[in-house]
Amino acid sequence: MATQRSATTLRERQLIDELDRIRSTYSFNLGLLLTESFIRKPWKLPLLPFSFLKLNFDFLRNKRSVKKDLSEHFLSLDPKCLLLFCTSEEGFASLERCAVLAQQWMSGKERKVVIISPLKEANQFAPKEALIYPINDPKQLKKVQRGDWNAQCEQLLANVLDTHLPANVAFDGPYPYRGVLNCIPLLEHTKWHWIRPDGVGDTAIAARSDNFTNIIEFGFGTGDAVQLINPSPSKMRTEVQQIVLDGRNYGQRDGAKLKKFDLKALIKKDVSVVSLEDWYEKRGGVLKSRETGQLLAAILPPNFEVIAAMMERNVPTLCVYNDDTSKTTLKALKQGAQRHPIMFSHENDSAQIQSSVKTIMQDQQAMRTMSASVQRTDWISQIVSIS
């Protein structure tokens, strides 16, 4: 079992397992018997018929034993343990998603959540009961150092798997690291979920999806995507403050960030504009913070979970997209945002942006009143089969 060899590296385990597999094959043992009877120990040749019968008997008996060991190993996985691996390529978005999943998972009895995070702020987002394993941020490393980082990642993840034996692992990132892919075969019966809210558009990266049990996409009740919100009997009511969140780069990778425009010039002077960085520093996350519902308005990118959070808290929002935005994602957002205070503008359409911001500033109270009431669903139960 893996727990008996926790001190070895994953590569060593793979080699040991492969050697054990070869030595246990019928052809290997038959060849060994014939070599011993005809070459190494010819005096055993008269006993070959009996040795041959014994070989078959031992092979069948060992085969049953191997099946039993595999069954025992499968049962040794901890179904109440969830391992989350968040990444930094999309800022704090991955950590926020994992924090929500961890919180929902911990709502069950006797459950355990383990988080591997390259972000030092993980303790601020995750539940207090979560076990957090820090890892260096690969974004801060040069390309020549990525190979060493993947080796460290592989070693850390292998040790965490051996220690906690999680029945489910969720990797949240735009592309799976080589160190992660190398660890997937370590626990054969562990289910690996790749969280990609918008799906996987890159064909080269999509080829790696075969390593995972499934790909988790987000949505608003369409297809097999995780449904983020459900109708609610009452609206979330909070005291609105004169604050607009400028979160245009929420969850955006460096190459896909939205263009900047002077938001302050489009709103009233008595309204404060808070950047995403200041919001995180003073108030924590966007998805879980209670103060999110106090926003007068928000400017955000086409991100499923953060738009869903604004819909849940009834915050008038301008969703700004660009040419890199998936048409499928944009269509799903527009359909899901019907009857909600969500407007959409392309980053190059300055007239539309100006008109949308003006409308939100003037009619935000009416937009709140006319919107539908929704609440966040239990995401984790849609991802992991909970027994």
Task: Tell whether 281 is covered by a domain.
Answer: yes
Do 104 and 43 belong together in one domain? no
pLDDT at position 13: 62
Which range of residues forms the domain containing residue 327? 230-376
Task: Tell whether 254 is covered by a domain.
Answer: yes
346's CB contacts (< 8 A; 6+ apart) are 320, 321, 322, 352
pLDDT at position 290: 81
**Which of 188, 216, 244 is the C-terminal boundary of a domain?**
216
Do 155 and 246 belong together in one domain? no
Do 16 and 122 belong together in one domain? no
Domain count, the chain: 3
Over the stretch 317-359, which tens digit does the pLDDT of each residue have? Answer: 999 999 989 899 999 999 999 999 999 999 999 999 999 999 9
pLDDT at position 250: 92
Do 318 and 238 belong together in one domain? yes
Task: Tell whether 224 is covered by a domain.
Answer: no
Do 143 and 234 belong together in one domain? no
pLDDT at position 145: 81
**Which of 71, 104, 123 is the C-terminal boundary of a domain?**
71
Q: How far, in Å, CA of 47 to CA of 188, rounded?
A: 41
SS3 288: coil
E strand map for the chain: 78-86, 112-117, 131-134, 166-172, 191-195, 214-216, 218-219, 226-227, 229-231, 243-246, 272-275, 297-300, 317-321, 342-346, 374-376
Task: Tell whether 18 is covered by a domain.
Answer: yes
Do 235 and 361 belong together in one domain? yes
pTM for this prediction:
0.80
Do 97 and 43 belong together in one domain? no
Do 202 and 239 belong together in one domain? no
Task: Tell whether 174 is covered by a domain.
Answer: yes
Task: Tell whether 386 is covered by a domain.
Answer: no
Do 211 and 248 belong together in one domain? no
CATH of the domain at 167: 3.40.50.2000
CATH of the domain at 241: 3.40.50
Task: Tell whether 244 is covered by a domain.
Answer: yes
Task: Tell whether 11 is covered by a domain.
Answer: yes
Walk along the chain (387 residues) in steps of 10 and give the mean pLDDT of each run.
44 68 77 80 79 78 58 69 95 94 94 96 92 92 81 92 93 93 89 91 75 92 86 81 92 74 80 89 83 92 95 95 91 93 94 93 91 93 80
Do 278 and 342 belong together in one domain? yes
Helices (H) and strands (E) in the chain, counts: 13, 15
Do 41 and 135 belong together in one domain? no
Question: Which residue, among 103, 247, 254, 249, has the nearest Cα to 174 in the 3D structure?
Answer: 254
Over the stretch 286-318, which tens digit does the pLDDT of each residue have? Answer: 998 888 989 999 999 999 999 999 999 999 999
**Which of 71, 88, 115 is the C-terminal boundary of a domain?**
71
pLDDT at position 331: 93
Do 26 and 105 belong together in one domain? no
